[in-house]
Amino acid sequence: MVTTVHRPTNDTVANVSTHAAPDAIFQVRFNRHRDELERLFTSLYNDPAAFNALLDAMSDAAAARPQDLRMLDVEREADPQWYKRGDMFGMTMYTDLFAGDLKSLAKKIPYLKEQKLTYLHLMPLLQMPHPNNDGGYAVEDFDTVDPQLGTNEDLANLTKQLRAAGISLCLDFVMNHTASTHRWAKAAQSGDPEYQDYYFCYDDRTIPDQYDAVVPQVFPNTAPGNFTWNESMGKWVMTQFYPFQWDLNYRNPKVLVAMMSSVMHLANLGVEVFRIDAVPYIWKQLGTNCRNLPQVHTIVRILRIILECVCPAVVLKGEVVMAPKELAAYFGTPQAPECHMLYNVSVMVNLWSALASQDTRLLKAQLDGLNALPDNCWFVNYLRCHDDIGWGLDEDEERRLGIDPLLHKEFLYHFYEGAVPGSWSMGELYNYDEVTRDARSCGTTASLCGIEKAIITHDQPSLKRGVQRDLLMHRAMAFLRGFPMLNCGDEIAQLNGWAYKDDPDRVEDSRNLHRSKFDWSAAALRDTPSTLQHELWEGMESLRVMRDDPCFAPDAWVSTWDTFNDAVLAVVRKVNGADARTAGAGMAGAAGGAADGTDGERTIVGLFNFSGYPQHVHLNGSQYVMNAMDTDLAPYEARIVLR
């Protein structure tokens, strides 16, 4: 049945009682967006029946939304910046590597609460083929939890327990492709033309060759080309990632409606954040590079509208591994927002570049570009995640600074595999390409920072330096605009998992180096003084103490500051208003007990020495920000100063 819209006299949810019928609240929200939703949908598809199918799916999902989640919707509508608060603190992990399955993970919630987490990102856990699933990013059922990890009921129970602990669950939603074992792909392989139109299937190489002429390869070494020949179907199928991942055809409205329905289904299981995977790739158009096309933004905006109508407690996090100039578009505008936040891939890469080169100029330039983005742009900052470090630096800025982009990239990935004289790192290359000389890097934070090598060589001074590097990187990351997300195991200095080389199903993917089982025996040492685990655990606690400051409010002003020393990064945070006068004594004490500046203003400065040598810095004063300062920093020191 097609959704019928009745327009109330006052088009605000606030004037609809939270005890009203669910469809009444949905109608109010829907009325705000119906015209725009229809206009956007029609710009992609001339298919009224498909639009009505989407409206039906939205109405059904709204009616099925559990009562506790409806209450959360109302709370979040009253606090729309909840995900920007200074106390936001995240972690990402694989369910099976951390706990085994969802039921077992729920029993580990006390460990997460110890860390005062407010955000948990679980790597893909929907039904997937085994073993070829690209870490779960090949999905064969978007509505069902993988049986090896549990059931939909287990997921709903977990999200409920996490909410009770103050933790929002984030899940990946893989929009670009399905597994080749998905029911749609199976139907396509059996010759069904309806489902072949869910993908990009061609009888010969004519059109694939036209795509390949301009579309970059994602994995030129391990999965070259953008198409795979399917023998059972007798056609070429687009597979931009791996051959077992078939790209979806969003030019077919049935694909969009089905995928949006799955998002709403997962939201009703209690998922509060969706990381939309590989979103720049989802629209394909012959003659283009099939990246960042306008239709991508139309689809993301449609998704945002659907969420605001059906489940407004839910937010979108985009995975956009693109140049900084491409990022702002994925936030949309204040009038027509798209993603609530993005993965801060570019800053992650620049942090590692600064550490290896002991030069913060590229990092500072990157931060200046991101800090200049509009207020609606928000980031999740991190050092390591499930993926590799792709050395996508700003080549124009490198040339301006007199840095050869290719030589610098080669230096970085060889440094982090430990192949450069003086390197303290132990990592591995991923996807090395002999032709382009491109490669990416793998490894855990601790191993890349020198802790593993120091342990192996029984070098205590080097171990101390490795810990200093690790904490410096985390403190710098956590000080930036956005909120920090740890990679599970970083809080206990988990090292590389070299055992993956003994597993024939995992040995071909070096990213498994940092995808090893959580070391619970090491975690047990977190409360034992003088242990490595205790030092890192306390270091992560210091991040939360640091961020418990008014200067981490969502509306804080954030900027880099010149230090007249390329090895040292300075970042200034300033907040105005009543919040500035409620500063906690902990931060004041950490900053030496200095008083606030102008009444109603508070400014803190983060100084981060990316060098292994002592450094002197000078910061010019500003009438409107802070007084000038001179100070000396120890090797790899991170210091927070109240100005």
Mean pLDDT by 10 residues, the chain (643 residues): 37 43 85 97 97 96 96 96 95 98 98 98 97 94 98 98 98 97 98 98 97 92 91 97 97 98 98 95 96 96 98 95 79 94 94 98 95 90 95 94 98 98 97 90 98 98 98 98 97 97 93 97 97 98 96 95 98 81 42 46 97 98 93 98 92
pLDDT the model gives residue 578: 53
Task: Tell which residue, 436, 394, 430, has the closest CA to residue 413.
Answer: 430
φ and ψ of 123, to 5 deg: -60, 165
Task: Tell which residue, 336, 636, 276, has the closest CA to residue 471.
Answer: 636
| Active-site residue, selected from the candidate residues 101, 154, 319, 388 | 319
Tokens of 76: 């979040």
User: 554-584+598-642: same fold as 19-174+256-343?
Assistant: no
pLDDT the model gives residue 327: 83
Please state at what angle helix 361-371 crosses helix 345-357, rounded to 10 degrees: 160
pLDDT the model gives residue 435: 86
- Is residue 179 within 8 A of residue 128, CB to CB? The reply is yes
Q: Which CATH number fits domain 554-584+598-642: 2.60.40, 1.10.3470, 2.60.120, 3.30.40?
A: 2.60.40
pLDDT the model gives residue 16: 43
Residue 37 and residue 481: Cα distance in Å, rounded? 32
Q: Is 319 a catalytic residue?
A: yes
Strands 227-230 and 235-238: antiparallel
Residue 599 and residue 580: Cα distance in Å, rounded? 8
SS3 508: coil
Residue 461 and residue 176: Cα distance in Å, rounded? 47
Domain spanning 183-247, CATH class: alpha beta
Q: Is 566 a catalytic residue?
A: no
Q: What contacts 596, CB < 8 A, 6 or more positions away? A: 580, 581, 583, 602, 642
| Active-site residue, selected from the candidate residues 101, 146, 277, 417 | 277
Tell the burial category of 131 from Cβ atoms under 10 Å away from its Cβ (0-12, 13-18, 19+). exposed
**What are the domain boundaries of the chain?**
19-174+256-343, 183-247, 554-584+598-642
Q: Does domain 19-174+256-343 have CATH number 3.40.50.720?
A: no
